[in-house]
Amino acid sequence: MKLSDCTILWNREVSPGYYHMGLESPERYTSAMPGQFVMLKAEKAGTLLRRPFSIHDVTTKDGKTIVELLYKVVGPNTRVYGQMKDGEVLSMLGPLGNRFSEPEAGETTFLAGGGIGIAPMLLLARRMVAAGANPADHTVFIGGRSDEDVLAEEAFRTLGFPVVVTTDDGSAGEKGRITEPMARLLEEKNPARVYACGPHPMLVGIAELMKGHPALCELSLEIIMACGMGACMGCVVESSGADEPYKHVCIDGPVFDARSIKV
């Protein structure tokens, strides 16, 4: 974990209110793990606290290490990030947090993301392919309120992953909750691991769906963080174990075995 000044290479709006940013970053980020995040600070934002962003992807081009972020503008602070231009500099702390586990040879998996929760799944998918996984053996589920909230679909299809899309209003893919097609395919695909990130109700639904199933279910929690290092106690989540009543999302997570926390 180190602090670095990183230059914006691009910052594009990919859907109303959603942005895809590429940052020229130190070479050490090539070893960033799927599920980890960074804390960003823009001087023009005028705030003391940094903001957490999932690492969406890490690529290399023309000798540059590029950390890619997929984020949503939700308030005045993130609105500043959405307005930043190529060549501007951000202060980035990271990589932070733990990671998703890696599937073993022959295992099938589900990767599920709701809205901006799809962000950490692309790096996971890319690392799986790099490790020799056959994308056709795995399934990506992307959910959103409407078609405007369905993100990164083409990136997963380009990698060769089957993609199932659901929207609340039926404007893209299947109308309904993301857990509905997951439940239908659970017996057919029999995944050994399920990875999920998204709104809290979605994670509750997936955790309930996977109860009693032998698959490892890992949830990446979306939560407001102030420091990202476990100092402020602002991102605690209730543990399911009696010996440790609470866990920090920033240092114990953001990825948790669904059985280890109370969602």
CA dihedral 236, 241, 242, 248 (to 10 degrees): -20
Query: Which pair of structure tokens corresponds to residue 184?
Result: 């239908």
**Same domain? 86 vs 161:** no
Count the Cβ atoms, other than its own, within 10 Å of residue 222: 22
Residue 65 has pLDDT above 90, yes or no: yes
Least confident of 85-94, 125-134, 181-190, 245-254: 245-254
- Average pLDDT of the residues of the chain: 93
User: What does the pLDDT look like over 4-26, one tens digit per residue?
Assistant: 999 999 999 999 999 999 999 99
Q: What is the mean pLDDT of residues 42-60?
A: 86
pLDDT given for residue 46 in this prediction: 67
262 lies in a domain? no
User: What does the pLDDT look like over 199-240, one tens digit per residue?
Assistant: 999 999 999 999 999 999 999 998 777 777 777 767 888 888
Count of structural domains, the chain = 2
Strands (E), 26-173: 37-41, 51-54, 57-61, 64-72, 89-96, 109-114, 139-144, 163-167
102 lies in a domain? no
CATH for 193:
3.40.50.80
Structural domain containing residue 24: 2-96
**Same domain? 207 vs 117:** yes
Phi, psi of 108 (to 5 degrees): -100, 155
253 lies in a domain? no
Q: What is the pTM of this model?
A: 0.94
Confidence class of residue 60 from pLDDT cuts 50, 70 and 90?
very high
**Same domain? 54 vs 114:** no
260 lies in a domain? no
**Same domain? 134 vs 79:** no
pLDDT given for residue 169 in this prediction: 97
52 lies in a domain? yes
Q: What is the mean pLDDT of residues 102-106?
A: 92
192 lies in a domain? yes
Query: Which pair of structure tokens corresponds to residue 223?
Result: 């939560």
Domain end: 96, 120, 151, which one? 96
